[in-house]
Amino acid sequence: MDDIQKYRDLFFEETDEYLQSLNDNLLQLEKDTDSPGIIDEIFRSAHTLKGMAATMGYTTMAELTHSMENVLELFRSGKVKVTSNTVTVIFKCLDKLSEIVEDLRSEHYPDYDIKSLLYELDALADPKMAAKDEVDSKPALGKSDEISDMDADIIRSALEKGYNAFSIAVKVVENCMLKGARAYLVVNKLEAQGDILQTNPGVEDLEEGNFDRVFKMIFLTKETKENVREMIENVSEVEEVSIDEITEEALPDHYIMTEDAEVAEDGNNANKNSKEILDQKKNQNLRSEEKATTIPTATQSIRVDLSRLDNFMNLVSELVIYRTRLEELSSKQKSTEIDEPLEQVARITSDLQDLVLKIRMQPVNVVFNRFPRMIRDLSQELNKEIDLIIKGEETELDRTVVSELGEPLVHLMRNAADHGIESIAERVAKGKEPKGTIRLEAYQEGNKVVIKVSDDGKGLNPETIRESAVKKGIPAEDLDKNELIQLIFNQGFSTNQEVTNISGRGVGMDVVRQKISSLGGSIEVMSEVDKGTQFVIKLPLTLSIIQALMVHVGTETFALPLGIIEKVVNAKPGDIKESHNEEVYVYREKVIPVVRVNEKLGIESREENQHIILVMIGGKHYGLLVDDLIGQQEIVIKKLSGSLGNMKEYLGATILGNGDITLILDVGNLCSGKGENFE
């Protein structure tokens, strides 16, 4: 099993991709049931998933995907009609497969009961017709595989470009228990060095080990015959290998796969071209006559362990720190000789910094791609018609931000479907289209990414919010419409009268704001009654290297993320007033709660030359009172560990150019609980 273990991580990565592809394509198929291309793609994904599971020895997955494949084949042949109900059954199977994969990933191996799913799949198909299809799909017996005209042209083109073409026969040992696994390992090794054009037996039988002891391939590569033989013989339980070179002279009359005299014919000639394999291996190989003119070379991308990427980021961060240190020392020493090489070091460091940040970037579709399926299921559960429109899914964010973005977006999307979009009857009564619309949009704006979640539903009623606030003891009589709407971010605040399994438990929006704030971002909400609601989230591109405002609080130095700062004003005597037992600052006729940072951190203030830093958190303004300003600086965020890591007042720490360690303030937590009496 050692050889199989090597491919465990690869199995999980590819399985995740195939499951996501199946989800996406099933959603598309439900909308366009007459598209044979989508059905073919779904069938190929399920078929590949089945083969991978069988190869790894995951029998429950293989059994379930095999039954799915039978139904999908009936979809493809038109013998079973694609409906919302049939698609729902397939979705149930995908959910179970995802559950199994997560258990396998965590090395948890429970016994699964999939009888009900298998029964539902069987109920979709006519058993007699399914049995007949199974018989018809059995490969015909034959002695050799003839290369098609298309494949012959591909081989000719490959030979012209300096490739070698080999007819290969592989015999496994007599008592081999995992013939499919051995075939899979051979195929994987060869595909890393070239292209497999044809297999005998066919794809399905090869993956499932449905052959006696011998399987054959036609292989295009620039490797020598000896190297190819060595690669195959290094796979466990391979008894014998026969390799014949295919020459140009053999092709005009259709080259026949030769059979080595010492390697017995297995009798399972499927006469299937392995373009099915090529389709299922991410288009690595030649699939058509057009591809004959462009033989693919080695892959241009690699998978990198995330810990290595983090180490790379940490090393670049250290370079940024010491570059700043060198620049400070050079300025103090006033040495002109070091200026030119230091400028080069600064340029290279900046280029490295840009490069590592780009490498860390990840498209938001990693999060967005879960929502089409989620909205589809919610619309059925709520008996509503909902159309989801997604734009800008290619927009990129730091992978750290992307990984934390899922939870708040899921809550916003579920709220939009449950509270936002009305029932069909309500929408018709209001003169709206029966089908509601939820929009999810992302785009880059300067050094930030903006994500908008909007719906065309009932909207937020300010008066309903006011009534709910008064009942909870929150002074709301003097609040305007926008101020009332912002109250939904208060802890435990909800206007929903009915608790459902989707939302309405009085929790959630405060958690959304806290999560967005912890990512250095902000969230605002705009709403019109009977027109809809829009949430606007703004996030920094990266959380690793940021621009910060350095400040003094007492004798200590702290850093504030620049992205949330709107303005800095001098605090003159009398500027800070008392209101509702809290200190406030009036700015442009707006009452802003003031947070004395020294009191929050337990530091004695100098109370001279103080400044108020106006920040925007969750659609609210706050004023942070600090003793002095130092200036703007690019800083590297370092995570805090131990007891410091549990202190909510700090996002992390950074090392300044002089070597001092400075803490970075978590503004969202510092402002938490402030201003709830009047905003």
Structure tokens at 43: 């069938």
Angle, alpha carbons 615-619-624 (nearest 5°): 20
The C-alpha torsion from 105 through 106 and 108 to 112, rounded to 10°, is: -40
Active site residue 23: no
* Residue of 123, 121, 67, 241 whose CA lies nearest to 171: 241
d(CA 99, CA 657): 49
- Other Cβ atoms within 10 Å of 645 Cβ, number: 10
Rg of the chain over Cα atoms, rounded to whole angstroms, equals 32
Are 373 and 411 within 8 A, CB to CB? no
Q: The tokens 């366009």 sit on which residue?
A: 32
**Cβ distance 264 to 255 under 8 Å?**
no
User: Is the separation of the CB atoms in 35 and 28 below 8 Å?
Assistant: yes
Written as six digits, the tokens of 6 are 């090597």
Q: Hey, what are 507's tokens?
A: 């929790």
Q: Are strands 545-553 and 238-245 parallel, antiparallel or unpaired?
A: unpaired
Q: Which of 47, 411, 419, 621 is catalytic?
A: 47
Cis peptide bond prior to 201, omega within 30° of 0: yes
DSSP letter at 209 equals: T
- 3-state class of 318 per DSSP? helix
The yes-or-no answer on residue 69 being catalytic is: yes
415 annotated active-site:
yes
> What's the CA gap between 613 and 568, in Å, rounded?
5
Q: Pick from 622, 624, 572, 562: which is nearest to 598 by CA?
A: 624
Q: Residue 590, SS3?
A: strand
Active-site hit among 415, 419, 483, 598: 415
Residue 592 — φ and ψ, nearest 5°?
-120, 125
Cα–Cα distance measured from residue 84 to residue 78, given in angstroms and rounded to the nearest whole number:
16
- At residue 267, what are phi and psi to the nearest 5 degrees? 80, 5
The burial of 401, by beta-carbon neighbours within 10 Å (0-12 exposed, 13-18 middle, 19 or more buried), is given as buried
- Give CA separation, 71 vs 90, 155, 493, in Å: 9, 36, 47
Amino acid letter, residue 146: E
Which H/E stretch holds residue 615? Answer: strand 611-617
| Closest by CA position to 240, among listed 265, 214, 273 | 214
User: Closest Cα to residue 214, out of 255, 246, 182, 190?
Assistant: 182
Catalytic machinery residues: 47, 69, 415
